[in-house]
Amino acid sequence: MKNGIPLKDRERVEVRLAGMGGQGMVLAGQVLARAAAVYDGKNAVQSQSYGAQQRGGPSQSEVVISTGEIDYPRVVSADILVALTQEACDKHFLNLRKGGILIVDSGLVDRVPTSHAYRVPVTELSRKATGRPIAASIVALGLLAELTGVVSEEALRATLAVESPRGALDLNLRALEAGLEEGRRLKGA
């Protein structure tokens, strides 16, 4: 909003989902990209890079969503950063575009380098909604849909319905709803 054009109306939007191995950031990136493309009718590229240092360490996933062709497929300067750990926030905040949207897990990120951030107990919401912390990245997708509009909630639901492993769909949908609900609450606040 700060840059004039709302994110959902821009041609190209760059999203970075960052956390630790095991938090499902790569999976969430794939769900987001597929939802935006297959169900919202845009183009999307999802990628992640790996280095030798990454054993059990930080994990991040990038999604570029565009209504046009995607020339350069990596995040150059993120419009949206979701950071589920302090390390992820510290590392990627500088790459967040001025006026970009920052969503942090308030239970895991103590030091937030800006006052313009959504502080949401993402992992805690996942635990409450599903009994497990593991769906935190799906909660984050719900937040993203409500707070940024770069993907529709219908597209996320449809993608989860197709892509969830057997037995995980119900859990994933509950996590998504928790994120959507919290997003609506924050928007209304």
User: Are 84 and 20 in contact, with CB atoms under 8 Å apart?
Assistant: yes
By CB under 8 A, tell whether 49 contacts a second copy. yes
Partners of 63 in the beta sheet? 15, 46
> Going edge to edge, which strands form the sheet with 78-83?
58-66, 12-20, 78-83, 96-105, 118-120
Let me know if 168 is exposed, middle or buried by CB neighbors in 10 A (0-12, 13-18, 19+): middle
Residue range at the interface with a second copy (CB under 8 A); choices 10-18, 29-37, 109-117, 118-126 = 29-37
Range in contact with a second copy (rule: CB under 8 A) among 42-50, 96-104, 109-117, 146-154: 42-50
Residue 20 lies near a second copy (rule: CB under 8 A) = no
Asked if 152 touches a second copy (CB under 8 A), the answer is no
Burial 86-119 (b: 16+ CB within 10 A, else e): ebbbeebbeebbeebbbbbbbbbbeebeeeebbe
Find out whether 86 and 111 touch, Cβ atoms under 8 Å. Answer: yes
Beta carbon of residue 66, minimum distance to a second copy (angstroms, whole number): 10
Q: Give CA–CA dist 135/129, Å, rounded.
A: 9
Task: Out of 37, 103, 120, 129, point to the residue binding a second copy (CB under 8 A).
Answer: 37
Using CB under 8 A as the binding rule, whether residue 169 contacts a second copy is answered as no
Q: Does 45 bind a second copy (CB under 8 A)?
A: yes
Least distance from a second copy to the Cβ atom of residue 38, Å: 5
Q: How far is the CB of 97 from a second copy (least distance, A)?
A: 20
151 contributes a contact to a second copy by CB under 8 A: no
Which residues in this chain contact a second copy in the complex, by CB under 8 A?
26, 30, 33-34, 36-38, 41-52, 54-55, 70, 73-74, 165
